[in-house]
Amino acid sequence: LLPDLKLMLSEEDNTALREFCSVLNEVVIAEVLDGLEADEAWRVLKSCDIDRQAEIFEHFPPRLQMDMVESIDRSHLSKIVEAMSPDDRIDLLEHLEEDQIEQLLPLIAQAERDEIRKMLSYPEYSCGSIMTTEYASLPENITVREALDRVRQQAPERETIYYLYVVDESRHLHGVITLRELVLARPHQLLSTVMRRDFVSVRVTDDQEVAANEIARFDLLAIPVLDEDSRLVGIITHDDVIDVVVEEATEDA
């Protein structure tokens, strides 16, 4: 694909570049773009919308991300950072210098800015530093039918909806239910009667290895992260745990 992509760039074939970015999987696109110079990679990314740019950018290796950060204006970079998933966004910012972060944050929307500062405050290699805040949550005093309606509304904004977390108004975690269990439950049952209260969780300050071990031990796709007051602040997904395992194995080697 790389020779074809370089030909598209030389011919300034924007239609073909747009199709390249829209048809292929974002992981494949990121791997191909890794063979280009940073400025060339940006030319390719600019052929698609900002959300797609963020999806592809998240899969670049840190080296290429840093090269590309240096070759783009802060305004454009801030839009990509806003569109990135919270955990990948923090991974990027942790590789930047302090002054680069301070230059970037004022350009980011207030809500994302506050979340970024909070997540950057967690210790390196802690569960808080690798979690995402894009989880699906529900109150326990609604019916299964109402819960399914709410899941449909939340789904486009969430990283995963396989696990649904049942919380109160203060975000204290009371139970967990899988999407499969919710679909199979009777529509008029209350969520409080079908959710599981014996869930596994980690603390935001726990070492990331704790999350990796618990996900492997209980064969989970994600694990909830609680603060010191047992409030749900995020989840760690299995793909982030794979990254942790690779990092730890590399360090040991």
User: How far apart are the C-alpha atoms of 43 and 192, rounded to whole Å?
Assistant: 51
Question: What does each C-alpha distance from 221 to 30, 129, 214 come to in angstroms?
Answer: 24, 18, 11
| Three-state DSSP state, 178 | strand
**Tokens found for residue 80:** 């990509």
The better pLDDT of the pair 45, 249 is held by: 45
25-39, 123-137, 208-222, 236-250, range with the lowest pLDDT: 236-250
User: How far apart are the C-alpha atoms of 127 and 43, rounded to whole Å?
Assistant: 36
> What residue has token string 């290895």?
209
pLDDT, residue 114, reads 85
pLDDT, residue 1, reads 84
| Three-state DSSP state, 166 | strand
pLDDT, residue 77, reads 87
6-10, 175-179, 223-227, range with the lowest pLDDT: 6-10
Helices (H), 84-207: 86-93, 98-104, 110-120, 127-130, 144-154, 179-184, 191-194
Tell me which DSSP letter residue 231 carries: B
Pairing of strands 173-178, 232-237: unpaired
How do residues 111-142 score in pLDDT, each as one tens digit? 788 888 888 889 888 999 899 999 999 999 99
How do residues 163-191 score in pLDDT, each as one tens digit? 999 999 999 999 999 999 999 999 999 99
User: How far apart are the C-alpha atoms of 10 and 36, rounded to whole Å?
Assistant: 13
Percentage of the chain lying above the pLDDT 90 cut: 60
Q: List strand residue ranges (DSSP E) for 134-213, in order.
A: 136-138, 163-167, 173-178, 202-203
